[in-house]
């Protein structure tokens, strides 16, 4: 190997798809470790191997000791038999069971502890974390939403903080904009204004449910300043944020999703497309309509894929999807609750043997990457 230039050696290693093998290569020499840990190598390897083995990260809370537990499942032909307990670093472990996993992208997960005004970006594979302070305005009149994703070009982790007013009726100017700040991991430890100034109006209330697809964050939202026939409505919509241009866009939904007064919507990533899940907030959560966004821009539309009908089951709003597209639901026919695969065509429900407290499950598909390795 001494006769081969270091650049060629690294090019060979770049082509190795197995992440764990690449990590082992760091032990060969100081020069190998230095290059493999570099941002250029990590970004290049991640972009080169975006079609990698898929995994499912599952978080739940144990019924007996109330401990938060993490487990990964390999999402292949062996599913769900390869269960691996995840090493949880202290930066993640100290978060309470009420902390939110606000988003995931390219193998990174972002947790948010509201009371501590802190987020942690975590790569379970390389066991690396980055803790970020989130200055917050705690006030009964204001709410805060945190978004997380990566720029599609350079895979730079980015947070966006959106502060809105709970009661826009009390504002003299209903067109007052929300306050938005952006944090990028590569640009230091400061929050700044977004590159674009087209932030949503104060009448738009953005929800907690989010999904990241192709460098864009999507949130469910409602418009609190729409009047129809002299009556106020709060139609559902989607708000998107481009992680590169930092522009916000409103995405209109079809009438069955927009005008449904009692619909509780959430968004998810379904095979790298935006899925919108519709629940009826006044009936038991045994039914869910799954819609998918098709196209972009002016050609964007939504198609209903199927309805989940699971009597005696609790379908959580954080329902996840396998890479095959099959939804994973929270099943509560027996105590404690457990996760199950729902097959849309046969309507068959298959338990996967993971149990937890009611409403504590988080399920998300991810791929293994080297991101955060050098941090």
Find the CATH number of the domain harbouring 130: 2.120.10.30
Q: Would 2 be classed as within a structural domain?
A: no
Q: Would 347 be classed as within a structural domain?
A: yes
Q: Would 25 be classed as within a structural domain?
A: no
pLDDT at 169 (0 to 100): 60
Long-range contacts of 136-142 (CB under 8 A, 24+ apart): 137/163, 140/166, 141/165, 141/166, 141/167, 141/170, 142/166
Number of domains in the chain: 1
Domain that holds residue 97: 37-367
Mean pLDDT split into 10-residue runs, the chain, 375 residues: 83 90 92 92 88 82 81 89 88 81 91 89 93 78 88 90 75 63 86 87 87 94 69 81 94 86 85 90 79 84 91 76 90 77 90 84 89 86
Give 248: exposed, middle or buried? Use CB within 10 Å, 0-12, 13-18, 19+. Answer: buried
Q: Would 29 be classed as within a structural domain?
A: no
Q: Would 318 be classed as within a structural domain?
A: yes
How far, CA to CA in Å, does 227 sit from each of 172, 204, 224? Answer: 18, 14, 9
pLDDT at 177 (0 to 100): 63
Q: Would 7 be classed as within a structural domain?
A: no
Q: Would 195 be classed as within a structural domain?
A: yes
The β-bridge relationship of strands 118-123 and 128-133 is antiparallel
The predicted model scores a pTM of 0.90
Q: Would 164 be classed as within a structural domain?
A: yes
Q: How many CA atoms lie within 13 A of 298 on its CB side?
A: 0
Contacts of 112 (CB under 8 A, 6+ apart): 99, 100, 102, 118, 119, 134, 146
For residue 248, give the DSSP letter: E
pLDDT at 226 (0 to 100): 63
**368 alpha-carbon distance from chain centroid:** 15
């Amino acid at each position: 190997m001494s006769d081969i230039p270091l650049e060629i050696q690294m090019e060979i290693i770049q082509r190795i798809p197995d992440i764990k093998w690449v990590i082992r290569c760091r032990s060969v020499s100081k020069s190998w470790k230095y290059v493999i840990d570099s941002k250029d190598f990590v970004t290049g390897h991640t972009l080169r191997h975006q079609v990698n083995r898929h995994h499912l990260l599952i978080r739940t809370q144990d019924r007996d000791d109330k401990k938060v537990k993490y487990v990964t499942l390999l999402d292949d032909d062996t599913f769900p038999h390869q269960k691996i307990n995840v090493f949880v670093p202290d930066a993640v472990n100290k978060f309470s069971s009420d902390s939110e996993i606000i988003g995931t992208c390219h193998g990174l997960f972002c947790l948010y502890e509201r009371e501590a005004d802190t987020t942690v970006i975590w790569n379970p594979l390389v066991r690396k974390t980055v803790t970020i302070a989130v200055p917050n305005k705690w006030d009964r009149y204001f709410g805060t939403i945190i978004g997380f994703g990566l720029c599609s070009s350079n895979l730079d982790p980015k947070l966006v903080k959106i502060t809105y007013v709970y009661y826009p009726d009390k504002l003299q100017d209903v067109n007052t904009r929300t306050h938005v700040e952006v944090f990028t991991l590569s640009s230091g430890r400061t929050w700044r204004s977004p590159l674009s100034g087209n932030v949503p109006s104060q009448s738009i209330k953005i929800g907690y449910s989010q999904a990241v697809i192709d460098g864009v964050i999507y949130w469910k939202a409602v418009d609190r300043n729409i009047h129809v026939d002299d009556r106020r409505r709060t139609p559902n919509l989607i708000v998107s944020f481009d992680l590169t241009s930092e522009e916000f866009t409103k995405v209109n939904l079809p009438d069955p999703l927009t005008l449904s007064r009692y619909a509780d919507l959430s968004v998810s990533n379904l095979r790298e497309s935006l899925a919108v899940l519709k629940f009826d907030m006044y009936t038991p959560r045994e039914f869910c309509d799954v819609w998918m966004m098709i196209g972009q821009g002016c050609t964007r539309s939504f198609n209903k894929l199927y309805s989940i009908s699971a009597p005696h089951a609790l379908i959580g709003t954080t329902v996840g999807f396998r890479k095959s597209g099959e939804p994973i639901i929270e099943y509560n026919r027996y105590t404690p609750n457990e996760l199950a695969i729902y097959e849309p065509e046969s309507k068959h429900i298959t338990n996967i043997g993971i149990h937890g407290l009611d409403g504590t499950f988080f399920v998300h598909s991810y791929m293994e990457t080297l991101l955060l390795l050098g941090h």
